[in-house]
Amino acid sequence: MSEVILLLDDDPAALAFLNNVLSEAGFACITLSEPAQALVQVGTRRDIAVIISDIRMPNLNGLQFVQQVNSLNLAWPPPGILLLTGHPTVELAVGALRLGACDFLTKPIRPRELIDVVNRTIQRVRASRSATETKVPDVQALILQAEEVVGALRRIKPSAQPFQIEAQAAPAPSSATTTIEAHWPKGRLSVLDAIDGLRKLRRNYDSHKLDDVAWDLLLEMLRAQQSQQRLSVSALTISVSNVSSTTSLRRISELAARGYIERVPDSSDGRRDFVRLTGKALALLTDYLEQADSCLVDLQSDRRTAHATPRR
């Protein structure tokens, strides 16, 4: 029996992206926008091995959907569930995994990451179903589940604590302070300085009249091109985090109209267009990256010089 991937999201662009990536990788997919419809399918189709569901949906959120799946009285081991979120937190990860979700994916999703996680989840589901049929302890499934839990928690970064503005006595060095100093010794390039420098660098290209969304879209396309990946319009639309699909699509249209990108029809699917950078965009991005590299080198040189200068 071949496995089927059920895709659940109320955003048509997100559904199209997931379906395109997984279908091209050889998976059979079902796309749905309503949790109620998805529950019917899960309750009647044994071949559904993996469910990929968005967490934020109008009628039922992702965690509630996992609970609903768990409440189904299935005659076979349930499918593995992967949750999509643009704002991962430790609480969300623990809650999802405690309810039985296999993993969660952080938007924007890289195609390679998506395919790898689906393959691992299918492997786990196969092990679980094989153990049920042979009546032996599901050791392999437990191992895979433990690996997924560790991997998921590693991807969550704790929220930064606010800086203390008022003057206070310097606390005694703690183990946490020692760890930070070990990773970021004095004289090493500051990440904050680098980020600030790269942000200011974009001002040199004001004549191109590109906002942050447009820059991010062009850089995402360059990243995909260097990885020899073809990006569809729908995939590019949801590649920028914390930006609505409508805004991204509008910027894509503007970039195409201004000659930075080209839309190339998919010869095998008349409903889909791919996108590629034009020579104009490549010249801009090449110059920007050269300047960015020079900026980082200068910052690192300044740090080393400051560190080497003796204090008086």
- Residue 275: give its domain's CATH number: 1.10.10.10
Is residue 177 in a domain?
Answer: no
Question: Based on the domain organization, do 80 and 194 belong to the same domain?
Answer: no
Same-domain pairing of 198 and 301: yes
Using the predicted structure, report yes or no on whether residue 46 has a pLDDT greater than 70: yes
Q: Do 108 and 26 sit in the same domain of this protein?
A: yes
- β-pairing, 269-277 vs 231-232, is antiparallel
Q: Which residue has the higher pLDDT, 262 or 292?
A: 262
CATH number for the domain spanning 55: value is 3.40.50.2300
- 8 A C-beta contact, residue 46 and residue 133: no
Is position 275 within any domain? yes
Q: In terms of Cα–Cα distance, which of 216, 249, 240, 224 is closest to 12?
A: 249
In the predicted model, what is the mean pLDDT of residues 69-84?
Answer: 87
pLDDT of 165 higher than 60: no
- Flag whether pLDDT at 41 surpasses 90: yes
Among the ranges 67-76, 183-192, 235-244, 296-305, which has the highest mean pLDDT value?
67-76
How many CB atoms are located within 10 Å of the residue 129 CB? 19
pLDDT(1) > 60: no
Whether 113 is in a domain gets the answer yes
- The share of the chain scoring above pLDDT 70, in percent, equals 66
Question: Do residue 192 and residue 286 come from a single domain?
Answer: yes
Is residue 301 pLDDT above 70, yes or no?
no
Residues 120 and 9 in one domain: yes
Residues 121-125 have a mean pLDDT of 87
Task: Give residue 104's domain range.
Answer: 4-154
What's the average model confidence in pLDDT over 69-89? 83
- Same domain for 130 and 192, yes or no, is no
Let me know if residue 249 belongs to a domain.
Answer: yes
174 within some domain: no
The pLDDT of residue 268 is 72
Pair (99, 226) in one structural domain: no
Residue 161 maps to a domain = no
Say which residue, 190 or 102, is predicted with more confidence.
102
Give 188-221 pLDDT, tens digit per residue: 445 556 666 677 788 888 888 999 899 989 988 8
Compute the average pLDDT of residues 55-83: 84
116/191 same-domain check: no
Is the residue at 171 inside a domain? no
Examine the domain organization and report whether 133 and 26 are in the same domain.
yes
**Is residue 183 predicted with pLDDT exceeding 90?**
no
Listed in sequence order, the residues at least 6 apart from 69 whose beta carbon sits closer than 8 Å to its beta carbon are 39, 42, 51, 78, 79, 81, 100
Res. 109 pLDDT band, cuts 50 70 90: confident
**Is residue 168 in some structural domain?**
no
pTM of the model: 0.46
What total of structural domains would you count in the chain? 2
- Give the span between the Cα atoms of 239 and 225, in whole angstroms: 14
